[in-house]
Amino acid sequence: MTTDIVLNIVLLSLMAITGLAIARLRNLFPVAMLTGLYSLLSASLFTLLDAVDVALTEAAVGAGVTTVLFLATFGLTRAREKPVARSRTVIGLVVTVLTGAALFYASLDMPHFGDRNTPVQDHPLRERYLSTVNEEIDVPNTVTAVLGSYRGYDTLGEVTVILTAGIGVLMLLGVAWRRPDKRKESDR
């Protein structure tokens, strides 16, 4: 139990430090790598918090696909950020601190982390999903059962969203591919 708490604190602190470094750095290639590190830390945290499917997805998507896409974008545009004006930074900090303070004040009302009797855990849906999965679907992985069967409409919408994103990117960037050797032949 204590190792869990210690690991929890260590991982969250590392995530906060990485987040600060991402915000401060102006050379964008290290920022892409740090984003990959941030995703990996959050995937480890998800494993610690018993969300194994989410951890698998976050590790594959965050540390894999998103990092590659960011690096490809930096290769196509500049890889250095221009410094921001002082006034803009100060206003941004003020707004951020005010919002953070409001959220902190609201968080004091929240039930403690890991508590058994919270409104989230007391909701009847939890018992419904965990107990009737055996009778209705007989599939041990409750997350897949809920995702595919109980909440199938949401999953259909999500697949459509990713297909739409693919179509959008193809429309924006997809042009006919010309093989490199064909161009050299026409030059001769």
Partner 1 sequence: MREHTVLRVITKLLIAPIIIFALYVQFHGDYSPGGGFQAGVVFAAAIILYALIFGLAEARRAVSPDVLRITAALGVLLFAGTGVYAMLEGGNFLDYDYLAHDAIHGQQYGLLLVEFGVGLTVVSTITSIFYVFAGRGRRTNEHET
Partner 2 sequence: MAEIADNFFGLFNYWVVIVLMMIGFYTVISHDNLVKKLIGLNLFQTAVFVFYISMGKIAGSTAPILMQGPGSEDVLYAHPLPQVLILTAIVVGVSTTALGLALVVRINEAYGSIEEDDVLAADFETQEAESETEAQRKARADARQAEAEADEEYDDGSEDPRSPEQRAADTDDKEPRS
Contact of 24 with 34, CB cutoff 8 Å: no
Interface with partner 1, residue 174, by CB under 8 A: yes
Considering only CA atoms, which of 70, 71, 69, 47 is closest in space to residue 59? Answer: 47
Interface with partner 1, residue 148, by CB under 8 A: yes
Which of 3, 124, 153, 162 is close enough to bind partner 2 by CB under 8 A? 162
Nearest-approach distance from CB 68 to partner 1, in angstroms: 6
Q: Residue 46, Cβ neighbours under 10 Å: how many?
A: 19
Which of 10, 27, 30, 134 is close enough to bind partner 2 by CB under 8 A? 134
Residues 14-53 that bind partner 2 (CB under 8 A): 15-16, 19-20, 22-23, 28, 31, 35, 38-39, 42, 45-46, 49-53
Nearest-approach distance from CB 188 to partner 2, in angstroms: 29
Buried b (16+ CB within 10 A) or exposed e, 82-101: eeeeeeeeeeeeeeeeeeee
Nearest-approach distance from CB 162 to partner 2, in angstroms: 5
CA 115 to chain centre: 25
Residues 56-115 that bind partner 1 (CB under 8 A): 56-57, 60-61, 64-65, 68-69, 72-73, 75-76
> What's the DSSP call for residue 27?
B
Q: Residue 40, Cβ neighbours under 10 Å: how many?
A: 17
Angle, CA of 42, 1 and 115, to the nearest 5°: 75
For binding to partner 1 (CB under 8 A), which residues are involved? 52-53, 55-57, 60-61, 64-65, 68-69, 72-73, 75-76, 136-141, 143-145, 147-149, 152-153, 155-156, 159-160, 162-163, 165-166, 169-170, 173-175, 177-180, 183
